[in-house]
Each structure stands twice: as structure tokens, then as C-alpha cells.
Structure 1
């Protein structure tokens, strides 16, 4: 049997990670031909993926955070080959947020993450495809909009520890007097919404912002986008905070959120708005987001919460 050939694409910020270095050495001792490439500037991941495919690699491992995963998945997604002709995808979480990895239940140590890739069969997963005037963008996890960037910066660390991801929403509520809602019209299959929102999540995955569960029921293999809109709260502020204190994060978000599922979503705004795609900002007045089913194959835990109970089924 030929020796399995892997390529690990490592975010340059984590190039000195000793635990990863040891995990790579251990995997090589188990018979995996594993080459490492380190990204330094834009375009590196695309070049390394093309090189890995040309070299016959059967698995490509993204080592980094959500942005690294999305960059590698994006490069696989926009190739001409079908998913079953491309290398499988693995993830070693090394970022600061690791929202996709956290929601997927991936191990948080390099040794365990690489062992999972080695032992678990890859399964097909969906990707987000966003079309904007400047071109096509892809994302593995989530597209988000609203005041998230500002709130992330201004949210108190103590509040984060006490409340987790919903601390960002509470901070936003407190700042509504000086944060303007984003006006937009959303349209999907059997779904339409028009108004001002303070947060928007379009999920393949479930969370963003270091654990904020914007799309808590999203699945990555159902062919659907999970859409969450948090509209202007006006008179709901007090009730929402009370719900947060008495019933917790999920109940507070459910109180105010508008939710939908659709294979596609169109967004139109009177002014340019920004969407964050796994760390990549895209600004425009019109967007179309499609869920592209089964675009890549990924190694995930058998009990991965993001799958429809079929992680044991090989791709």
C-alpha cells in the first residue's frame, strides 16, 4: 500500500508552535508523508494547494484559525475538479477564536487534531459562496454583518468571562444610542425581511466573534443557509436584558432574533454595508449568498454537532 501523502498549510503566525512540530513528527513516524508549507502573504495558500494537488497529496491540513481554514477551503472550492477528485480537508485549530473548530467539536491540541484526521473518514460539507460586484468569495463558517467589529473591540473582558459570546450583544444593546442600525432588504426562498438590523448572521457554521452563537442550529451538510437577523430593539432592551439574566444567552437571543433557512439569500442595502466572511471583509450594496452543497470533504468527529448524524459515512 502506498504511503499516504499529506500537505499541511500553516499560518505563519503559528510557525513556532512546538506542540504542532512534535505532532507532525509523531504522525510521520506512523507512516504519513507529511510536508509543511508556511503562509506568509496573500496568495500563498492558493499556490500551496495547487502544488499539493500536483504532487498527488490525498489530504490537505489547514493549521490556523477560521481565516486559514476558509482560505484553504476557498482554494479547493473554486477549482474545476469535483469534490471527490480533490484532496480531503483537515483542520488543526491554532487561531485565537477558532469558531468553526469549537462548534464542530474538533480537538484543541495539534496531536489530537492530526490523529482525528488520520482515523476519521472525510465527509462532504457545504460552503458559502458570496457574489458581490467585486467578484466571488467563499467561506467555510459564517458571514456576519452589523456592528460586530466595533462591539468586539469595546466589550469588557469581565463581561465576556461572565456571559460568553452574548456579552457582545449586551454591549451592543448598551450602545444603541450611538450605533446606527444597518438598513437592508433580505430575500430568500420563502423568506423576506426589510428593516434595520444591528446584527446579521448567515451560517454554514454556527458561531462567530469568539463564540457568539449567531446561527445556533446551523448544519454544514444540509444544503441550507441559516439566517439570523437581530433587528433594532427599541423598547425590547429591558426585556432582553432581563431574559439574559434569568434564562441565559440562548433565550435572550431567541427573544429578539428573526430566523430563516434558505438555499440562497439576496441582500440589498441603500448604503454600502460590510459583511465579514471568516475574517475577510467584503463591502457592497448588493450581495447574493448561496449554499453550495458538498463542495469539499472534511475530516470531522464522529459526533460532530454540525452534521446530520452521518459523520461515520465515508465520502
Structure 2
């Protein structure tokens, strides 16, 4: 008989257009039906949810399980990073890139819970900047400008808001002047995007940092040098296949530490607003234990 464990279950009920609530209920029922002690957690906002999660980890739960998308995983990572407490994920978002990394079931919460209960912990790296961790990719460039514009728009809701913001920013697409410090080597480069990958993808399977490994102690710094609007639109589908790496304007550096600086640009990591540049990001080997 499997060991009885104490598990903190933290859900975002609004994830995936409302899928979070139903999947959290299914996960809770499954965990309890298997004899585990489950603390069902939910904060009124992200700050309170993180405080509750950190308190549960400090109290000595056997695992923290989050139900939601990559934003919810991002929150859970802040609570468990470097603590030795494993993180489990029941996918319920739109992107679910962390779940993609380890091939977790993304549509069946009971199957996802059963995978977690097999208790196969995998030790992964995280990236950290100013005490805040991320698991997937920090991107700072055209995509960040689109996010900033979309966040200022009151209408429309959902994906259409980002589509309109993308079209608006494409009209004025121009290179950004970046200064990078790559393990102590300075690089000045004009580019439309700089991304720092702990893992290979973000945004629901956009494999911008194709080839990035989650357990090599390195960050993959991807530079997309100046590219025209039509060429950017043509190249975009290749990001989902990871074949953009052969494009002449693609450049990659593998480092342990990077500082990214550019005027007026905000970095987004795990789909969350991370902060304005400059940002110094370091790899933290083995900082996350993920149940997979």
C-alpha cells in the first residue's frame, strides 16, 4: 500500500477560462480517495495564495500540488524552490508549458494526479533574478511590448486583446538596442527579442529556446536580431516546431549568468510580468523537485 502523505492543494479556479475550479475538485477527490490528507488552499489574490503556500511548506507538507496554468506553477515555485519539498502540477491553464516539459496529462486531472502519486521526483534547475524564480522562459522584446499594450487595454477580453495588441505593435516594429553581460562578456546588439530560457518553450509551446535543458545548470540566451515585419510573421509558425534556429537572424548563447539591459523594456517570465530591465538572471541547479 502506498504511503499516506500530507499534500497541500493550491488552485486557481479561474484558470483556463474556468477549468481550474472543476479540475481542482476532481484532483481533491482523487487525492482523498487514495487515502491522503489534503489541505485545500485558495487565496483571495496571488499574494495571499503565495503566503498560504509558503506557510504550508514551512509546516512540513509532503508536497505542494498546484492546479492551474504556468502562472500558478510560477507561484508554486516561489514557495518550494530550494526547500526540498516537491511540487506537483495538475494542468488547467491555456499554455501549460511546464506540464509539456515532463509530458503530464493536460486534459485529464485524475490522470495527472495518478502520475503525481506514482511519486517519481525529478530534480530540475530554476532561473532566479532578485530573489524571484522562473521555470520556463523570460522574454524581453517584441512580445513584452505586446503584453504591456494588452495589459493597458480594457477591451476586448481574452486572446483577441493580444491579437489586436500584436497587430498594433507590428506597425511600428523596430530593433531594440540591448546590452548583454554573458558570464562576464559584454555584448551590444540590436534585436527585436532577447529571451532567457531555463526550459525550451513558453506561451503554449513556442519553442523560442529550442535545445534548452532543464537540468544542465545553464541558461539559453536567445537573440533574434533585426527582422522585417513580414519575415517575422512568416517565421512565427516555426517557433512551434523549433525550426527557427536555422534562421540567419537567430543567435544563441549558453551561460550560467546573464544581465539583460534595454531602455523601456519589461521582462515577462512564465507568462507573468517580471520587471523592467536591466535584470540579472542566474541558473540555480537542482532548485526544484517536480513530481512527474
TM-score range with shorter-chain normalisation? 0.7 to 0.9
The Cα of 1:273 is off from its aligned counterpart by 1.7
Deviation by residue 1:51-104 (Cα, 9 ceiling, x = unmatched): 323443101011111111111111223xxxx54xx3211111111211222233
The Cα of 1:242 is off from its aligned counterpart by 7.3
Corresponding residue SS for 1:45:
helix
Distance 1:147 1:116, change over 3 A: same
Corresponding residue SS for 1:291:
strand
- Please say if residues 272 and 283 of structure 1, whose CA atoms lie closer than 8 Å, have aligned partners that are also in contact: no
Counterpart in the other structure of 2:126 = 127
The Cα of 1:216 is off from its aligned counterpart by 1.2
Distance 1:29 1:186, change over 3 A: same
1:35 is aligned to 2:39: yes
Unaligned runs of 5+ in 1: 154-159, 161-167, 301-315
- Please say if residues 241 and 252 of structure 1, whose CA atoms lie closer than 8 Å, have aligned partners that are also in contact: no
The Cα of 1:125 is off from its aligned counterpart by 1.2
CA RMSD across the alignment: 3.1
Counterpart in the other structure of 1:276 = 268
Question: Which range is displaced more, 211-220 or 276-285?
Answer: 276-285
> How far apart in 1 are the matches of 2:183 and 2:75?
28
1:180 is aligned to 2:174: yes
Counterpart in the other structure of 2:12 = 11
- Please say if residues 12 and 39 of structure 1, whose CA atoms lie closer than 8 Å, have aligned partners that are also in contact: no
Residues 43-54 of structure 1 aligned to structure 2 (within 5 Å) = 43-54=47-58
- Please say if residues 12 and 21 of structure 2, whose CA atoms lie closer than 8 Å, have aligned partners that are also in contact: no
1:209 is aligned to 2:203: yes
The Cα of 1:252 is off from its aligned counterpart by 3.5
Unaligned runs of 5+ in 2: 151-158
1:264 is aligned to 2:257: yes
Residues 52-201 of structure 1 aligned to structure 2 (within 5 Å) = 52-77=56-81, 82-83=82-83, 86-108=84-106, 109-131=108-130, 136-149=131-144, 178-189=172-183, 192-201=186-195
Distance 1:38 1:265, change over 3 A: same
> How far apart in 1 are the matches of 2:100 and 2:196?
18
Counterpart in the other structure of 2:280 = 288
- Please say if residues 57 and 80 of structure 2, whose CA atoms lie closer than 8 Å, have aligned partners that are also in contact: no
Counterpart in the other structure of 2:227 = 233
Query: Aligned residue pairs: how many?
Result: 271
- Please say if residues 201 and 215 of structure 1, whose CA atoms lie closer than 8 Å, have aligned partners that are also in contact: yes
